[in-house]
Structure 1
């Protein structure tokens, strides 16, 4: 007999007394493998995200281990998940198996940056929050298990926690000429041997995508990076799941028709879970103000992604589905230092933000940011900057055209067409596409931390009112 109390495809399983019919065992195993795929999808999000981005650097931009890709224009950043549209990005991906110990030389200046493994765990900081304190210097990255060699001079030493690493660097100086002068001084070279020139590569408007691939491509990317990365002890149960899904070290990925179908379904269902986990966060304290619709988007507590008594699997999946990279600067609790990020995924009434509707956001006077603040719009499907005709996705304090109200507040408008007030404070959205927004505070100040300053909700125009 069939057991109607069982969910999904298992409801089709016939029972022979207390055991399943042997003829229906394949249905049970299909469900088991499908559930493994869903969980592996969530677990692998940060790894696949960086692997995808690395692949784009290599194949689209032609970047080597010793180059830097410089994202400056809006078009440059359209493939970057939840990119900041205000400041440039300078970064690259490095295979320490190929390079050996690596030196990154950075100049003195108003900068931020660091190094992370492909699980997006930060293992080294540079710039104003790093050991150089913005004074610049030579940073040495040692591969996992590599002892510190004899050095000729002073280095800041960083022990990598993975074979593949990302080096990211950002200039915070608002002056474009000074900013570019800092970028031009960065050097990436091996510790020993001939140093190839560090090329600064521009995307030059070439289309690219850094969001995790869908369908079977997700698993192809995961299999590829798994062959080139060390294994953490904490992940061994997930590696058992990978084995069941046809992904093993030193073995080609050749899923048959049955497994391919399950993997496609698992990736699709896993992404639905990731969307809910990111855009409707269930974590305690996720809502930054109890009477507002703004979430504290970064729920990870530490760069090692560990909390007291458990590893932050779902917190990690939430952040790395909708964003890339983690640094201690993003979790700064020191007024005037680092960054703070809030996310809005719904309007004031709790409805998804609709690209065909018009909305208003009131930013009260005196936003608590020492350096600058911004509000940015992202496409909910790609989590990248909205690719609108306007070719602009943000408004903020560094916008010389920003119009302020008499009381010092700012009204930001979102919608497919500009408001009656004109285009100055308007961000264009796309009908038929949902979107979400980040509010960023660079150098967050005490009114942000004590929550005495409150950002308004994003309110549908027909019901707009002051917040």
Structure 2
């Protein structure tokens, strides 16, 4: 069933964003009001535009190393990420990724997964353009049995065919899956590939073997430019993305009316050269205010638990949503994975000591991954060890059943290297992940032990 798009959206999708000329004098609001609205809008848009950076690289640049092949195609990584992989910041090193984007405008898509061995964890995290985690398929949410799931956009009103285990509705017409499949060492790559190859994507018409509806207009992606994204031109990116988020969520109808004051709306062009000087200056001031608010919130957000989730979980907390994207785009909801960690100096050898009975409480597994700062990518090291956890071969427990990990640039000694997570000489971030966290981890009863400098280390 084809859902009709507004005529303005059709024109905007059929031509580059910059080709449509805006109306001059698009707002007459007082500068103070414009400034406040621009601040609010920049915070609202931040996570969406951070995600668009990934979207552009994966969908719009066929010559780029991160290109996935277009909509409706999986790109599988069968091995764990290394320092050479820079698709996203703070990647995990436990579960090779599979990426795919779906365009739900013309019709829904069906995602089919194979039966997966009970001892293998996998998860398909589905994310909308707001960066909300709106659906989960996998070991925790739906089990390891084979099945087909229907993903529909906000305007679809068709019938669900037989053979569909569950229907997931997205608020946005374009969605992403970041799928993770657990890898148990280099010898396990073939098994991971088998799981990945069993994951299938097909439009609903293909699943039903019926005629396909007319295709939606091709998307003309505006090139991503970080300088533009961090300036008043963030409005052009937001307007582009809002085309695929209609109708607005009931909680945001009034918000969108307010945003319209500064030229924000689905598919609208934004040309700073045609905005009155006083208005543009007020927008710029609002962007500065937003960046300051984001920096302050980021500084006091010491845990990433609870900052990722669905709309129902995040509600209208757009500042938290922005901080989540700034700290690590596409984090899992807490029920799927717990996150915690440290910032340290690699020149100082430090330990993380888990007392007996206090190891990370995981239904599936746990790990700790190290990242360089400020870029938040994996740290290249001679051991080629980028994470450590309960699946690390040769890990040595203490005599009393506890566990001591060593983090630092220099080796802690040959007898301790089995428990060593190498770090750069400078600043680093070490992030612990618990896949399938217990209630104790989720409610804070269980706590990650402190990072403790080793006495005498430089």
Q: Does 1:171 align with 2:171?
A: no
**How far is the alpha carbon of 1:186 from its aligned partner?**
0.9
Q: Which residue does 1:252 correspond to in 2?
A: 269
Match of 1:103 among 110, 120, 139: 110
Cα distance in structure 2, aligned partners of 1:143 and 1:369:
34
Q: Deviations over 1:25-70 (max 9, x none)?
A: xxx9556544433332222233223222111111231521111122
Match of 1:429 among 424, 429, 446: 424
Match of 1:120 among 131, 152, 162: 131
Kept after mapping to 2: 8 A contact 1:127/1:136: no
Match of 1:185 among 184, 191, 198: 198
Kept after mapping to 2: 8 A contact 1:375/1:395: yes
Cα distance in structure 2, aligned partners of 1:268 and 1:460:
38
- Computed over aligned residues only, the root mean square deviation of the Cα atoms, in angstroms, reads 3.7
Cα distance in structure 2, aligned partners of 1:369 and 1:128:
13
Q: Residues 191-230 of structure 1 correspond to what in structure 2 (within 5 A)?
A: 191-193=204-206, 214-215=230-231, 218-230=234-246
**How far is the alpha carbon of 1:416 from its aligned partner?**
4.0
The DSSP-based 3-state class of the residue aligned with 1:67 is coil
Cα distance in structure 1, aligned partners of 2:225 and 2:76:
16
The DSSP-based 3-state class of the residue aligned with 2:92 is coil
Distance 1:114 1:297, change over 3 A: closer
Q: Which residue does 1:320 correspond to in 2?
A: 325
Cα distance in structure 2, aligned partners of 1:363 and 1:357:
20
| Paired positions, count | 391
**How far is the alpha carbon of 1:262 from its aligned partner?**
6.1
Q: Deviations over 1:177-215 (max 9, x none)?
A: 2221010111111111599xxxxxxxxxxxx999x9544
Cα distance in structure 2, aligned partners of 1:124 and 1:154:
15
Q: Does 1:64 align with 2:84?
A: no
Gaps (5+ residues) in structure 1? Answer: 1-27, 196-207, 282-294, 333-337, 346-352
Q: Deviations over 1:134-167 (max 9, x none)?
A: 2121111122121233625444222222111112
Q: Which residue does 1:339 correspond to in 2?
A: 337
Q: Does 1:364 align with 2:377?
A: no
**How far is the alpha carbon of 1:102 from its aligned partner?**
0.8
Q: Does 1:162 align with 2:157?
A: no
Q: Which residue does 2:43 correspond to in 1?
A: 42
Cα distance in structure 2, aligned partners of 1:279 and 1:239:
29
The DSSP-based 3-state class of the residue aligned with 1:151 is coil
Gaps (5+ residues) in structure 2? Answer: 1-28, 210-223
Distance 1:227 1:151, change over 3 A: closer
Q: Which residue does 1:395 correspond to in 2?
A: 388
Match of 2:251 among 210, 216, 234: 234
Kept after mapping to 1: 8 A contact 2:239/2:267: no
Q: Residues 143-154 of structure 1 correspond to what in structure 2 (within 5 A)?
A: 143-149=153-159, 151-154=161-164
Cα distance in structure 2, aligned partners of 1:452 and 1:123:
27
Cα distance in structure 1, aligned partners of 2:346 and 2:233:
28
Cα distance in structure 2, aligned partners of 1:320 and 1:176:
30
Q: Deviations over 1:318-373 (max 9, x none)?
A: 3233233365xx433xxxxx43222435xxxxxxx446554332233451224322
Distance 1:160 1:403, change over 3 A: same
Cα distance in structure 1, aligned partners of 2:289 and 2:422:
32
Kept after mapping to 1: 8 A contact 2:103/2:173: yes
Cα distance in structure 2, aligned partners of 1:305 and 1:81:
25
**How far is the alpha carbon of 1:303 from its aligned partner?**
1.8
Distance 1:193 1:339, change over 3 A: closer
Q: Which residue does 1:7 correspond to in 2?
A: none
Cα distance in structure 2, aligned partners of 1:76 and 1:452:
37
